[in-house]
Amino acid sequence: MKLTPSRSLKEIAGLINASFIGSPETLLYGINEIHKVEKGDITFVDNPKYYKRALESPATLIIINELVDCPPGKVLIISKEPFRDYNYLTNHFRPFVQAKSAINETAVIGEGTILQPGVFIGNHVTVGKNCIIHANVCLYDHTMLGDNVIIHANTVIGSDAFYFKKGADGYEQMHSCGRAIIHDNVSIGAGCTMDRGVSGDTVIGKGTKIDNHVHIGHDTVIGQNCLIAAQVGIAGVVIIEDDVILWGQVGVQKDLTIGKGAVVLGQSGIGKSLPGNITYFGSPVREAREKMKELALIKQLPEIIQELRNIKV
C-alpha cells in the first residue's frame, strides 16, 4: 500500500507511541509485509528467526521487538508488539469504510460496461470499458478492473486475505489493505473468490480465463493468457507465469512459482516451484509421463509381493 502523501519516521512513530532509531525526517512511501516489501516501505518482524530477512530486505523502516544494530540506510521502530502496531498503521491509513449504496459514489465505471441486478461496487473501485458484471458480483473497496472483463454471478473480488497470527487468546487477523487488480480481457466464472493483497496487490494478467468455483489467495500474481479450470485452489503469494494451464481441482501451496507454459493435470497437488513448458500430474506433482509409469508400477505391487512370498528360500 502506498502512502500518499509520504510520511516521516517521526510521524509514524508518533502514531504508535514508540521509540525509533534513525533520522526523524526519513520519508516513508508505503506499507508492505515482508513478501512484497520495497525500498521506502514500512514492514515489521516479531520473530528472531526472521530478523535477518527483514533487516536485509529493501524496506526502509522495520518495526521490530528487539533493540538491534540498525543497518545502513534504514531506520527502526522498537515495539513491544510489532504485529499489533503494523495492523494499527494499516487500519489508520486504509480503514474500513461502510458502504452507503450498492454502487459507491467514488467508483468509476467505464463506458459501455453492463452491471446486472444485485452487483455491489465498493469505495474507490475502478471498472474499465465494455465489461459485463453479472448478478450479485461483489467488488470490494479499491478493486481495479481493466477493459472487456467478464465476471459471472456470485463471484467476490477483493475479500480479506487469509492471514492470521496465533496468540494466547486465539488468532488475530492481519488487516488487509492491498488491492485486487484484473487486467483487460479477463473472464472469471461463477462463484469464484479472489482475495486482495495483505498490503500489496493480487493480480490477474491480461487475457486469462478462469472457470467456476476457483479461489485465488492474497498477493498471488497470475500472468497473461492462463487457463484455470473449475475448483482450483491457489494459496497466497504464488507467481503463475504466462500461458500456464491448471486443470480442475489442482491445489497450489503458498509462496511458489509456476513457470511459463506449464500444464498441470486435474487433481494434482503443487507443493514447490515448477519449471515451465512441462506437463505435470499427481500429488506431489511430477512430470506427467513419469507419474503415470509410477502409478502403473504401484498397481502391480500386490502381484509382486505375492510372487515374493511364494519364492522358497
Active site members: 218
Q: In whole angstroms, what separates CA 238 from the centre of its chain?
A: 7
SS3 call for 298: helix
From CA 219, how far away is CA 237, in angstroms rounded?
5
Sheet-wide strand order for 144-145: 108-109, 126-127, 144-145, 179-182, 201-204, 221-222, 239-240, 257-258
For 241, residues 6+ apart whose C-beta sits below 8 A from its C-beta are 223, 257, 258, 259, 260, 261, 262, 276
If 0-12 CB within 10 Å is exposed, 13-18 middle and 19+ buried, where does residue 55 land? middle
Query: Taking the CB of residue 258, how many other CB atoms lie within 10 A of it?
Result: 28
DSSP 49: G
Q: Locate cell 482450483: which residue? A: 232
Q: Locate cell 509382486: which residue? A: 304
Under 8 Å between Cβ of 216 and 194: yes
Q: 280: which 3 cell numbers?
A: 505435470
Q: What is the total residue count of the chain? A: 313
DSSP 65: S
- Name the phi and psi angles at 141, rounded to 5: -50, 140
